[in-house]
Each structure stands twice: as C-alpha cells, then as structure tokens.
Amino acid sequence: MRDVPILMLTARDSLEDKVDGFQAGTDDYLTKPFAFEEVFLRCGALARRRTLHTNRATVIGQLTVDHQKRTVHRSGQAIELSPTDFDILYAMVEAYPNAISRSSLIQKIWGDDLPESDVLRSHIYTLRNAVDKPFAAKMIKTIHGVGFRLVGNDAD
C-alpha cells in the first residue's frame, strides 16, 4: 500500500470541521478561499515531510532492501547486485507478498526496448545465486504460469 499524504481543500472552516478532518486522516487542511500557490507550497511541504519520515529500507523476512541507497542485506550480510538485478529484486519487493509476472518484470525493467533473448532468465539465475544460494531457506520462488514472488518466512 502506498502512503499518500492527504491535503483537504474545503469551505468548511469551523474548528469542529477541522478536528473531524484530521481525525479522519488528513495530513493538512486548507479552507476556501485559497491561492493556488499556497496549495502548491503545502503539497511540496507534505511531500518533503513524508520523505523525511519514511523508512527507505524494506524488510521482508531476513531480507533488507534499501531503495534509496540501492543496497541489499540478508541476515545482516551485504549482497552485491548488478543494477538490473537490483531493479528486478526491487520490483519483487514492491509486489510482495504477491507474485509479479514475467511480462510485468520485463516491462518494468526494459520497457519497450524488449531484450532479444530470455535475458530475464539469466538475471533471475544470478539473483538467486546472490540472494538464495548462500542461505538455507530460499526467498525467490517461481510461481509456474505466473512469475516470481518473494517468500518472507516459512508461512508464505
């Protein structure tokens, strides 16, 4: 689920209305009339505030993936990945706990510049060698007829 900041724009300006708005989950409250420049500035402030308080590392079971730093750790051990392997792994992280299809991965990584061969298979192989092979439990699972998914623990 994406964490999207909410700016409430409304003509309701009583304190009770504002309390109701904040209790309903808004991040900021702006009453009419307002200048569009103020809306723009408040949106920028909300985005910066959200970014400052966002944990950039995603933890799935033993795996920690930091999108900002483009680092991967498993059980505290650093894992070196090529840029493409990292992008593939991060696409699986974004899809977690669901599977991501081969076609979605190819579109996300290569876009309209489709590779001539089954290059995804090669990258999945190197990704498994880096993320799974040194460890007892496998985290990258093939879902036949669908694609791939990350397994965070034995219950997945």
Q: Are residues 79 and 125 in the same domain?
A: yes
The enclosing H or E element of 120 equals helix 119-131
Can you give the residue range of the structural domain that contains 114?
Answer: 57-150
Q: Give pLDDT tens digits for 66-103.
A: 988 999 999 999 999 999 999 999 999 999 999 999 99
Residue at 79 is within a domain: yes
Q: Give yes or no for a contact between 149 and 93, defined as CB atoms under 8 angstroms apart.
A: no
The total number of structural domains in the chain stands at 2
- pTM exceeding the 0.75 threshold for the entire prediction: no
Residue at 156 is within a domain: no
Residue at 155 is within a domain: no
What is the residue type of 130? A
Q: Give pLDDT tens digits for 128-149.
A: 999 999 999 999 999 999 999 9
Q: Are residues 130 and 84 in the same domain?
A: yes
Q: Are residues 46 and 112 in the same domain?
A: no
